[in-house]
Amino acid sequence: MADLEQIIRIEQEAVDAISEDHPDRAKMLYNLGSRLGDRYSRTGAIGDLEDAIQIAQEAVDITPEDHPDRAMLLSNLGILFCDRYLGTRAVNDLEEAVRIAQEAVDITPEDHPDRAARLNNLGVILGDRYSRTDEISDLEEAIRIAQEVVDITPEDHPDRTARLNNLGIVLGDRYSRTGAINDLEEAVRIAQEAVDTTPKDHPDRAARLNNLGIILGDRYSRTGEISDLEEAIRIGREAVDTTPEDHPDRITWSNNLGLVLSKRYSRTGAVNDLEEAIRLAREAVDATSEDHTDYATWLNNLGLDLSNKYSRTGAISDLEEAIHFATKAVSATSEDHPDRVIWLNNLGLALSNRYSRTGAMSDLEEAIRIGREVVDTTPEDHPNHITWLNNLGTDLGNRYSRTGSMSDLEEAIRFAQEAIELASDDHPDRAQWLNNLGTILGDRYLRTGALSDLEKAIYIARETVHTIPEDHPDRAMNLNNLGTALGSKYSRTGAISDLEEAIRIGRKAVDATPQDHPDRAGRLSNLGIGLGDRYLRTGAINDLEEAIRIVQEAVNTTPKDHPDYAGRLNNLGNRLSDKYSRTGIISDLEEAIRIRRKAVGATPQDHPDRAIRLNNLGNGLRDRYLRTEARIDLEEAISSYQTALLQSTSYTSTRLEAYKGVLGFCKILSDWKQACEATDIAIPLIPRLTSRSIENSDKQHLLSQAVGTASDGAAIALYAGRDPLNALNFLEQGRGVLATSLQELRTEILDLKEKHPELAEQFDNLRQELDTPMEYNGSLTNTSHIYTEQDRRSRRYDASKKLDEVIEKVRQQYGFEDFLLAPSKEEILLAARPGPLVVINVSEYRCDAILVEQHQIRSLHLPNLTSKEINEKSNAALGSTEVLLWLWNVVVHPILDALGFIRPPPDNDWPHIWWIPTGPLSKFPLHAAGVHSISSTESALDRVISSYSSSIKAVIHGRRRPVLNTIPHTSAKALLVAMQNTPNQNRLPFAEEEIIMLRSLCKSMNLIPLEPEPLKQNILSHLPDCQIFHFAGHGETNEDDPSQSSLLLEDSNLRVANLLEIDLRKQLPFLAYLSACGTGQIEDERFFDESIHLISAYQLAGFRHVIGTLWEVNDESCVDMARVTYEVIRDRGMKDESVCLGLHEAIRELRKRWLDEPPKKRQARIRLQMDDKNKTRNTSSKEQDTRLPRKAFEDDSDDEDDRLRGPLHWVPYVHFGV
């Protein structure tokens, strides 16, 4: 410095001594200005820079335009203006610098030895302008110039190293802007060469080391290669260590060293690296004036490091300080500065962290606002755009978790998915972004029940765990998320292997989390949930004890003002309640109630989880009431359940659970008025359990959670003395929801097309999107399939939302006010014109028949029918004379008497009844109820024709479709399928005979018989062209999932799920005759309300009539049943009444044969059937992989007459239709 000071003094004296018109004055001014500029570079004294600019400007001004030195003077002045811009961020200085440097280049001859230096200066200044404006053309020009400069600079030129360094810098900038890895590699190579060719004692060596360290840090961020990071830290330390303490650039080098140390902390979790990074960042902030151009950068870096420290320690003071510095960084940066979005993003992250710690919604709202601004102002091709999308998606997911807003959840998924699609497969942050997407998909599964979302969440979680290094600090988080997703899958499927894996992975997540880490409590709580679930499954008391210990630790280590505190209290209360249920120790129950009260008290009023915590409190109070009969517990329990029921932000399933709690206590109090008020709220919730956008199998699962709820509501309404129509509306609203959703999508809109074509077109387009099945591949092998499917699923969600809006617009049009609404009273009465509709409601509270006649709706109490006895009879042979007699006495006879059907009709003018049983009664053959003997007419078969329906609205929807002509047109077809030999099943010798018989009958009915090879695709392709579909073969009832019940073909199964995905209504198919076992069978009580089986599936696909069976049928009897039925249809024409009459006549004829058969012949037949096991057309889903012969239809009745006469093969056949 002393030498520089002396030079400046000498140069100043020279200038002062020379006259203003001296020809050398400009050169002397140039020398003085250059030296002042050098001193500014060393000391940062702005006065030197101002003097240097003034002097350099004077030198240019007194130099003629054609003077050979003018270019040199201009170039020097341009650099000084650029230096002042870098110190003040005054854009006019930068623009002036570019203009002057460009002029200097323009007037320098191509072959001038200084042209390279002037080009170099121009390139540097253009690079600075790019950094200020983010204008990519400036960067491209800077790179072009820098490359030209290097190319024309000799290898041994002393300035070549500096020029290489400059080229490396701008290539690094272009990588940061475009993400082009080749730019980054070239920048590293060039920066390394610049360092290697710079002497150890060179004053610019530290700057070049700094640049190399920055670029190596960037390469680590891109590749995750730890050796680059270690080298960047080593180089950064060397740059700092070789720079004098008072050098103005030392702060910059220290700051950059702090950045790479912070990166190493993020990779290794080494807290000492983070502490050093914070120390260096504080030094930078403290040593920099607030008006310094880099002050905002130092503030941002310090805020980021403090935020990282908070994430590691949970110290709220660190977070508050981080937000303070991040806010100052944003405030200190102009609106148009390209780095402002980075500072904003970091502020948003800190605010989001504070929301996660305090639950303050204002922080989250501000974080989302900032996130949107950052995304909107960042070009889509910018590498940071991916990060911004991911962060915004995370914040929106957090807001969904707090508010339950589905629009936030869908938008969060869209942003997270877009981030993954834009990220390269080898990006080191890809695992983090995948993790976020998987978490949000898991949230959507919990909300919508879409199993494919959960499967994808698990697949993604496995991928992130697989790709992240074992020692990475984020690995514990990824393990925790995988364990949580597996726990959700166990809750859905009951597969113990999922639970075991969830617990194993949960333990690994806890073990990988430091004892003092703020996320440890959450991971302990999740592990406790898994152990609690395993205890409930296995009864292993050690699991329960460990779960209590672990969750207690989670509660103890969670701050009381933490938003997750209430959830962890709730988990602890649940485990203590489990312990009480096991031990009966009242102190455990008291503690569970105390903790659950705290959980409810700590939960915001509008929180989505409030209802479940209220339910849990209500359950505890219920248990104590049952133990102590304290009236105060009963009253508080009801209050808890009622509050939960009214919690509009909570899950629908949770609110329905609360409804069940209300009913339970209202029954104790006989308070039917209060129960009815709760019912008015609860029943309309049932359709909201499902979304149109999810798969039918998911809808089926979700609706199974509400089975019996509508029946209970109807029973309560009748108990309270309400009009039977009110009870009927509850049943229509809360049952058959899946069928209703399909019928809505497939409703006829001819009137709408005529009067409001635009609305009709919108409705049609949206329903096509929703009615097209998702092609989900359960065996996920790569993430690209996930993104494609997620895009489709998002479109379905959007379509569902828009369809609701279109439906609302349609209802605003004159004449369409009831569009897609439940049937009105008038429509219901009109539906009874062909015959009464009898809805039999089964509930533990009471059982009733609701009789719908064309002039009235009334109820008939059935005092001798109870749900308990129905369940007992369900375990007997449903087709035994004993059960048929019981059905007659307690159900059918009272109903027929009430309707006036007290004797057989004269002249065979049969009245027609549609039976609509609910609950477990839907398994029973109401049409066959009675006393069956030669002289008796005390049976339904002797008084009425019977048909079945799942609901009144199903009948109404079916009748809205046009009626087929009585005589089919000449091209009408009948699709006939005989499966005499089915792979892995018993041979059915009469199936072929049945089809041969039908072939002849079809021709006499003017139908063209089609008999394609019995392959699934063949059948599906012919179904749209047929008026009649007749299947003779094996049927399979899936007990666990009715949507998988099926007809067995040669190559695969034709499942219910396949039929729910097709719409044949435009072709108006007339009859599906399913001559197989159990096509109308529902084994699991969870699915009674939705009535999903093969018969209903064919109805929903579009068939006007379906004939099927309630259980196993005899192979030989099937032929006779079909023959008589079709002969009646042939003789009377293909009319609605001919189908049900045909089946009625067929059942009566087979019953007559059963009654008239001589005893000796009957006994010989029974023995033959008991010996030959190949007589039924049934296969169980649990036996489908075996070759064991099917059991014959064996009657286990205790009735002597049954044993003498043999099984009643005519009983299980039923008709569903209009």
| 316: in domain | no
Separation CA 526–CA 548 (nearest Å): 12
Residues 913-942: tens digit of each pLDDT: 999 999 999 999 999 999 999 889 999 999
d(CA 806, CA 795): 16
pLDDT tens for each residue of 840-883: 999 999 999 999 999 999 999 999 999 999 999 988 889 999 99
Which stretch of DSSP H or E encloses residue 1009?
strand 1008-1010
In a domain, 699, yes or no: no
Q: Are residues 1096 and 1017 in the same domain?
A: yes
Q: What is the DSSP letter of 973?
A: E
Are residues 1163 and 1055 part of one domain? yes
List of residues 6+ apart from 1099 with CB closer than 8 A: 954, 958, 1106, 1216, 1217
Lowest mean pLDDT among 66-75, 148-157, 954-963: 954-963
Residue 167 lies in a domain: yes
For residue 46, the model assigns a pLDDT of 86
Q: Read off the CATH number of the domain in which 205 is found.
A: 1.25.40.10
List, as one string, the DSSP characters of 80-147. HHHHHHHHH--HHHHHHHHHHHHHHHHTS-TT-TTHHHHHHHHHHHHHHHHHHH--HHHHHHHHHHHH
- Look at residues 512, 531, 557 and tell me which one is the last residue of a structural domain: 557
C-alpha span between 55 and 77 (Å, rounded): 9
Lowest model confidence (mean pLDDT) among 367-376, 732-741, 957-966:
957-966
**Position of tokens 């509930």?**
843
Is residue 3 domain-shared with residue 32, that is, in the same domain?
yes
Q: Does residue 846 share a domain with residue 891? A: yes
In this structure, what token pair is assigned to residue 240? Answer: 């700092």
Give the pLDDT confidence score for residue 1177 in this predicted structure: 63
Longest alpha-carbon distance in the chain: 146
pLDDT at 1202 over 70: no
914 and 1000 inside one domain: no
Print the SS3 string covering 467-481. HCCCCCCCHHHHHHH
Q: Could you tell me the two tokens for 96? A: 């002036």
Domain match, 1156 and 1122 both = yes
Same domain (yes/no): 806, 832: no
Give the pLDDT confidence score for residue 840 in this predicted structure. 98
Dump strand ranges (E) for 243-361.
none
Mean pLDDT of 750-758: 88
Paired residues of 1102 in beta bridges: none
| Last residue of one domain, picked from the residues 101, 133, 165 | 133
| Cβ pair 997, 1122 in contact under 8 A | yes
User: Residue 362 pLDDT > 80, yes or no?
Assistant: yes
Q: What is the DSSP letter of 1081?
A: -
Provide the pLDDT confidence category of residue 666 given band limits of 50, 70 and 90: very high
**What mean pLDDT comes out for the span 820-844?**
94
* Per-residue pLDDT band at 960 (split at 50, 70, 90): confident
In a domain, 685, yes or no: no
Q: Round to whole Å and give the CA distance between 588 and 581.
A: 9
For residue 1174, being part of any structural domain is answered with yes
* Per-residue H/E/C for 812-858: CCCCCCCCCCCCCHHHHHHHCCCCCEEEEEECCCCEEEEEEECCEEE
The per-residue pLDDT for 1043 is 87
For residue 412, give the amino acid letter.
A
Structural domain boundaries, residue 81: 1-133
pLDDT of residue 983 exceeding 80, the answer is yes
Lowest model confidence (mean pLDDT) among 45-59, 744-758, 1157-1171: 1157-1171
Burial class (CB in 10 A: 0-12, 13-18, 19+), 620: buried
| For residues 792-804, average pLDDT | 82
Whether the CA torsion 551, 552, 554, 558 is positive or negative: it is positive
The pLDDT of residue 1159: 66
Total tally of structural domains belonging to the chain:
6
Q: What are phi and psi of 913, to 5 degrees?
A: -120, 140
**Please, which residues have CB within 8 angstroms of residue 423's CB and are 6 or more apart in sequence?**
386, 429, 430, 433
Token representation of residue 182: 């080749």
Indicate which CATH number applies to the domain containing 986. Answer: 3.40.50
**pTM of the predicted model, to two decimals?**
0.83
Is 1011 found in the same domain as 928?
A: no
Same structural domain, 1021 and 906:
no
Distance of alpha carbon 606 from alpha carbon 407, whole angstroms: 17
- Tokens linked to 1099: 């109805």
Model pLDDT, residue 784 = 56
- Percentage of the residues of the chain whose pLDDT score is greater than 70: 94
pLDDT, position 1179: 56
411-426, pLDDT tens digit by residue? 999 999 999 998 888 8
Q: What is the mean pLDDT of the chain?
A: 90
Kindly state whether residue 592 falls inside one of the protein's structural domains. no
What is the pLDDT, as a whole number, of residue 1173? 46
Q: Confidence band (pLDDT; 50, 70, 90) for 1070?
A: very high
pLDDT digits (tens, 9 = 90+) for 1074-1092: 999 999 988 888 888 888 8
- Mean pLDDT score, 677-695: 92
Reading the block at residue 1039, the tokens are 């007990």
d(CA 565, CA 1023) in angstroms, rounded, equals: 57
Stated as kind and residue range, the H or E segment containing 1178 is strand 1178-1180
Would strands 1035-1037 and 847-853 be described as parallel, antiparallel, or unpaired? unpaired
Q: Which residue has the tokens 């509400």?
A: 706
Share of the chain above pLDDT 90, in %: 69
pLDDT at 511: 96
Boundary residue ending a domain (192, 215, 237): 237
Asked whether residue 392 is domain-assigned, the answer is: no
Residue 528 pLDDT greater than 60, yes or no: yes
Mean pLDDT of 300-314: 94
- The reply to whether 1008 and 1104 lie within a common domain is yes
Tell me what pLDDT residue 446 has: 93
Stretch 97-114: mean pLDDT, rounded? Answer: 91
pLDDT (mean) for 439-460: 94
12-21, 766-775, 1115-1124: least confidently modelled range = 766-775
Q: Tell me, what's the pLDDT at 514?
A: 93
Q: How confident is the model at residue 278 (pLDDT cuts 50, 70, 90)?
A: very high
Same domain, 40 and 101: yes
42 with 159, same domain: the answer is: no
Q: What are phi and psi of 857, to 5 degrees?
A: -125, 120
**Residue 175 maps to a domain:** yes
